[in-house]
Amino acid sequence: MPDLNALLLRSNPRVFATGRLIKGLYYSEVPKGQNAMVAFYMACDRRLERKPFLIMDFRSSQFFLDGNRDGCVDATGTLALPEIDPADFMPAVDGADELCNEDLISHRELKDLAAAPY
């Protein structure tokens, strides 16, 4: 996946909602500049996964998909429009529908989830 550390985070990384959701974090190259990239993370009960499953580079209109959420790009492509809907990519993401399944959470290590400060 592209390195987001060189960019400035412009979104609040906190997750306030419970249940399963997708959280987009926007990044720019300069504090008051346009958004350069957006990274989409899955979240469960106020906890954000550590790695994004989808990144969109607005400068090149290119997307990067990590379908198995291991931190490596599994698919890439270019979108004709400068916008992206992460829900369109959910069928290609392994285990997305099981992220907040109580049975799986009780047996799963929480190493892949990061607590967001309240």
Mean pLDDT of 17-29: 92
Average pLDDT of the segment spanning 22-36: 93
3-state SS, the chain, equals CCCCCCCEECCCCCCCCCCEEEEEEEEECCCCCCEEEEEEEEEECCEEECCCCEEEECCCCEEEECCCCCCCCCEEEECCCCCCCHHHHHHHCCCHHHCCCHHHHHHCCHHHEEECCC
pLDDT in tens, 58-82: 999 999 999 998 889 999 999 887 6
